């Protein structure tokens, strides 16, 4: 049986992936609008191609990041250690990115920073790490070596 904290961490990864995917969709939309406005203002100069290309690049990059978040969530549900390590990295980076906004007491940024911190602390616990390494054993037991 998978610990509840691992399941909640996986669901949080799915949520983060969905939020990033929605943000990517917004970038596609705003990038397209900016390119159209630039084409009207500059009569199809290079600015239209630059804004359109930048919007597509950022949107695709964020969609790839969202897919990686979802894959990490699936890996956590399947108790894969690589998913735990990637989630640790993404949570630590999330804390670093959100820290300036959280220090200014932005409620949403503070909430996400605290959620990232909770996931980071939980996945760094020795019991949780041993559960990912010894998938068939309960978190408090030790493996038995046979000769």
Per-residue pLDDT reduced to its tens digit, 3-57: 899 999 999 999 999 999 999 988 888 777 766 666 666 665 676 677 677 778 8
Q: Provide the number of structural domains found in the chain.
A: 1
Residue 94 lies in a domain: yes
pTM over 0.95: no
Res 76: pLDDT: 94
The SS3 assignment for 105 reads: coil
Residue 24 lies in a domain: yes
Alpha helices in 78-106 (DSSP H): 81-103
For 63, the token pair is 């969609």
Task: Quote the DSSP letter at residue 141.
Answer: -
Tally of CA atoms within 13 A in the half-sphere of 38 that contains its CB:
17
For residue 100, the Cα-to-chain-centroid distance in whole angstroms is 18
Number of Cβ within 10 Å of residue 9's Cβ equals 25
**What pLDDT score was predicted for residue 141?**
52
147 located within any domain: no
Q: Which residue stretches of 45-147 are H helix?
A: 46-77, 81-103, 107-124, 126-133
Q: Is residue 123 part of a domain?
A: yes
Residue 55: per-residue pLDDT:
78
């Amino acid at each position: 049986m998978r610990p509840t904290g691992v399941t909640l961490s996986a669901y949080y990864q799915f949520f983060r992936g969905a939020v990033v995917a929605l943000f990517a969709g917004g970038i596609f939309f705003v990038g397209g609008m900016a390119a159209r406005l630039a084409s009207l203002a500059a009569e199809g100069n290079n600015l239209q191609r630059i804004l359109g290309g930048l919007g597509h690049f950022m949107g695709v990059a964020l969609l790839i990041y969202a897919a990686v978040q979802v894959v990490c969530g699936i890996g956590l549900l399947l108790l894969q250690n690589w998913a735990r390590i990637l989630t640790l990295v993404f949570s630590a980076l999330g804390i670093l990115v959100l820290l300036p906004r959280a220090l200014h007491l932005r409620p949403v940024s503070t909430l996400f920073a605290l959620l990232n911190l909770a996931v980071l602390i939980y996945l760094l616990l020795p019991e949780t790490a041993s559960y990912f390494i010894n998938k068939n054993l309960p978190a408090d037991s030790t493996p038995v070596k046979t000769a």
